Amino acid sequence: MWPLVSDTNRFNRDAGVPAVEQLGVGDNARRRLRLTRLGIGVEWEEEPFEWVSPRRFSVTRRYTRGPVASMRTTATLEPRDGGTRLVYEVRARPRGPLGLPAVALQVGVFSRRQFAEVFRAYDRAAGTEPEVLPAPKPRLAPGAASRIETAREALVSAGASAADADLLCSLVASGDELAVARLRPYALADAWGRGRRETLELCLLATRHGLLELRWELMCPLCRGAAASEPLLDAVAETLHCETCRIDLSADVSRDVEVAFRPTEAIRSVARTDFCVAGPQVTPHVIAQQLLAPGEGRTLALRVEPGRYRLRALGLAGAVGVTVAADGPADASARSGDAGWEGGELLLAEEGALTIENTSAEERLVILERTAWSDVVATAAEVTALQAYRDLFAADAIRVGEPISVGALTVVFTDLRGSTRYYREVGDAPAFGSVLRHIDVLREAVSRENGAVVKAMGDAIMAVFPRPVAAVQAMQNAQEATAGQPLALKVGIHAGPCIAVSQNGVLDYFGSTVNLAARLVSLSTGDDLVVSDAVLGDPEVAALALRSEQVDGGALKGFEDEALSLWRVRA
């Protein structure tokens, strides 16, 4: 029940609460909000939500005018045999003599009835498909049905499976408004039981046939909320600001820029509407959030999975690492003083008590969060390294001439051994045909392993992959496909950080990683791959059990003074 009940944005919508407008953010994520009900504006200051997942959350609102002075909502969930005991409590303080009957009527009668209906629906939906949840009827644009059918036919004609095209078109046509406003391809793939790459490519293709619109979202590395959402990657590449965390952001597309989709305006209007701007499911990586007054301490009863966590306070430098393990102690404590966090790393059991003390003179919003980035995030670095993306969107990727870091990629350069002699022996036309066939084999091998061909340079190519093992397997497959032919395929592979730049309408990559990969190809004989230590030492590559021998790279131009560990590997 926790993911449903603690999704306060959806709950408020389902319970008939009007949409809210955010007026500003104050200290410790306090927000000034406003809604309009029956033509009457209501404004309030909202304290930051407090919660301990998956058992309890609460929030306090202080109204600036109207019959209610303040209101505190608390939800508590406790396991019981075969289900969950849910207590949902609303405490309101009236303003003036007219406030008491107004609160009694609105909270005690109308809201109580609406909330109970929503909770019963959530109870029926727990553990089932979200489509059984209550949702407003979609507002389709005029002619949307025929456009959706046209897009479906185009997707199938372009190679998408009919079943996958049907799933996507059905979601766009009838999916819940809050869900389709931000479609995450990896989350869709998991929900549908489909491959992530296939689903991502389906969404990319759907943007070319008028069904979806692609959005680049810059995620704050702390709260992981979207600080910007733009149709072009270059629009989120500049430094921005997260109002909640009070920090400036710059785009690291290997981690902080996510790809999401939504239906086009020609199909249905799905502008993001907020019914609650905070809450546990807005930041689901946060396990617990507590607002501590100066000198206050609290003990939290936690039930968390093994792994790495981080304890931090909003606006306070530094953090405390927390490791949760099966053999960890049953309790641990941390203290936040005026100078920052005191003490070192903490170890805690999966079900344990964490005591947090605020000994400073200031109020602290304390946050316990997972350190691992969500595995359903399709990052810009992954997407721009896909051949399908480059074929469809490469010219739109990054502002011309403006470099942007894309994090770690695996870079491949190839060349054909003996091509000059081959041209002389068989003639230009037949030799050129053979070279083109080699390029086709390479493109197919690269695409099959989720890579992308960046450019072809005569009889050579440059390609990029998100993981070293994919590059190694793609090049081994390409060499196997060309074995026994007059032209042998020479390959060099290196992995590391890269810089992307858009030039002449093409997304290209630069940096030391690219330069070294380009040099390695000269050391290959055509029946091997010459790889760097960064590639051979990758755990997935090591599991391939390749035959390897060290190569002397001292003569590589531009790297004469570096101690390089290079390897010649074969299957």
Domain 391-570 indexed as CATH 3.30.70.1230: yes
Residue 239's pLDDT is 60
What's the pLDDT score for residue 426? 64
Q: Which of 122-136, 404-418, 514-528 has the lowest mean pLDDT?
A: 122-136
Out of 102-116, 335-349, 376-390, 448-462, pick the least confident: 376-390
Per-residue 3-state assignment (H helix, E strand, C coil) for 301-327: EEECCCEEEEEEECCCCCCEEEEECCC
**How far apart, in whole angstroms, are the C-alpha atoms of residue 101 and residue 92?**
11
CB-based burial label for 180 (10 Å; 0-12, 13-18, 19+)? buried
Tell me the pLDDT tens digit for each residue of 60-102: 999 998 788 999 999 999 999 888 999 999 999 998 888 888 8
Q: What is the pLDDT of residue 505?
A: 63
Closest residue by Cα to residue 26 from 49, 48, 57 = 48
> What is residue 117's predicted lDDT score, i.e. its pLDDT?
92
Tokens of 517: 């990969």
So what's the pLDDT on residue 237? 58
Rg of the chain over CA atoms, in angstroms?
28
Q: What is the pLDDT of residues 429-481, one digit of tens each?
A: 666 777 778 888 899 999 888 888 988 888 889 999 988 999 999 999 999 98
Q: Where are the beta strands (DSSP E) in 382-459?
A: 404-417, 452-457
Encode pLDDT of 473-508 as tens digits.
Answer: 999 999 998 887 777 889 999 988 777 776 666 778
pLDDT at 132 over 70: no
Mean pLDDT of 168-182: 91
**Sole residue written with tokens 């078109």:** 169
| One-letter identity of residue 163 | A
pLDDT band at 235 (very low <50, low <70, confident <90, very high): low
Q: What is the mean pLDDT of the chain?
A: 85
Domain coordinates of the chain in residue numbers? 2-132, 144-263, 286-370, 391-570
Residue 394 has pLDDT above 60, yes or no: no
CATH of domain 2-132: 3.30.530.20
pLDDT digits (tens, 9 = 90+) for 300-314: 999 999 999 999 998
| Identity of the amino acid at 91 | R
- Interhelix angle 162-174/144-157, nearest 10 degrees: 160
CA 1 and chain centroid, separation = 24
pLDDT classification of 178: cutoffs 50, 70, 90: confident
Question: What number of H helices and E strands is found in the chain?
Answer: 17, 29
pLDDT at 272 over 90: no
Residue 407 has pLDDT above 70, yes or no: no
Burial tier of 228 (Cβ tally within 10 Å: 0-12, 13-18, 19+): buried
Could you tell me which of 430, 328, 447 has the C-alpha nearest to residue 385? Answer: 447
What is the structure's pLDDT at 500?
74
Decide which of 244 and 78 is more confident: 78
pLDDT of residue 352: 93
- Taking the C-alpha atoms of residue 442 and residue 487, their distance in angstroms, rounded to an integer, is 13
Partnered with residue 57 across adjacent β-strands are 51, 75
pLDDT score recorded for residue 55? 95
